[in-house]
Chains A and B, each alone.
Chain A
Amino acid sequence: QKEVEQDPGPLSVPEGAIVSLNCTYSNSAFQYFMWYRQYSRKGPELLMYTYSSGNKEDGRFTAQVDKSSKYISLFIRDSQPSDSATYLCAMGPLSGGYNKLIFGAGTRLAVHP
């Protein structure tokens, strides 16, 4: 069983829809959680990170963490065609230096006009 599970999709939604992307994990030591966006043939870019349970909002994006259920989500409001990309969750334990990140396999999202 993988430490981080992520539904690969693809997920296809109409423009303006609310998108929910999710990951589950099994390691209780994971304390910080990140979401990356990756456009085709590009490197992943960091969207958001959080290290506490609850919600964190940044514009149209909301990251949600439920440590008791070992479940994290990324919500995208008013989705746009430019949001079409693969979204990767990543997580790891807190440390004073090198941070070991474990990535989900990524969910491919297509937002059509």
Chain B
Amino acid sequence: DAGITQSPRHKVTETGTPVTLRCHQTENHRYMYWYRQDPGHGLRLIHYSYGVKDTDKGEVSDGYSVSRSKTEDFLLTLESATSSQTSVYFCAISEPFGGVYEQYFGPGTRLTVT
């Protein structure tokens, strides 16, 4: 499982409340990613990080922010949750192998916004 944990694993929250999801890795990987997975869309990149305090947007970043103050932790924040952000969120890390960066995923967080 590439030493990745996500917390919480399940969360139900109300529209308009802030929510923070945590991704923790134990193997000092440089690259970390946040994806959301929705039926019919597959996995879509929200934000990624290429080092401490170095982050950038993915294809569906609106309404989300991220922070990485330590190598091992990558936080995803929904500033004001909306029902359209009900989804399963996956964190991933990159591991270089022969020049191709394979991505390994955490177990996911199932978020419901009511």
B46 → chain A closest CB, angstroms: 13
- Contact present for A101 and B103 (CB under 8 Å): yes
Q: How far is the CA of A6 from the CA of B39 in the complex (A)?
A: 13
Q: How far is the CA of A94 from the CA of B103 in the complex (A)?
A: 14
- Contact present for A34 and B102 (CB under 8 Å): yes
A67 → chain B closest CB, angstroms: 15
- Contact present for B100 and A49 (CB under 8 Å): yes
B108 → chain A closest CB, angstroms: 5
A interface footprint on B33-46 (CB within 8 Å = 1, 0 otherwise): 00000001111110
**Residue of B42, B94, B102, B104 with most partner-chain A CB within 10 A:** B42
Residues of B contacting A32 in the complex (Cβ-Cβ under 8 angstroms): 100
Interface size on B, residues (CB 8 A): 23
Q: Is A69 an interface residue (CB 8 A)?
A: no
A14 → chain B closest CB, angstroms: 26
- Contact present for A46 and B102 (CB under 8 Å): yes
Those of A56-113 within 8 Å (CB) of chain B: 88, 90, 94-95, 97-101, 103-106
Q: How far is the CA of A51 from the CA of B44 in the complex (A)?
A: 22
Q: How far is the CA of A104 from the CA of B44 in the complex (A)?
A: 10
Q: How far is the CA of A4 from the CA of B104 in the complex (A)?
A: 20
- Contact present for A99 and B94 (CB under 8 Å): yes
Q: How far is the CA of A105 from the CA of B48 in the complex (A)?
A: 20
Q: Which of A34, A94, A98, A106 contacts B50 (CB 8 A)?
A: A98
Q: How far is the CA of A32 from the CA of B101 in the complex (A)?
A: 10
Those of B70-104 within 8 Å (CB) of chain A: 90, 94, 99-104
Known: A88-B43, A94-B100, A99-B94. A45 touches B31 (CB 8 A): no
Residues of A contacting B100 in the complex (Cβ-Cβ under 8 angstroms): 32, 49, 51, 94, 99
Residues of A contacting B103 in the complex (Cβ-Cβ under 8 angstroms): 34, 46, 90, 99, 101
B53 → chain A closest CB, angstroms: 15
Binding site for A on B (CB under 8 A): 1, 31, 40-45, 48, 50, 90, 94, 99-108, 110
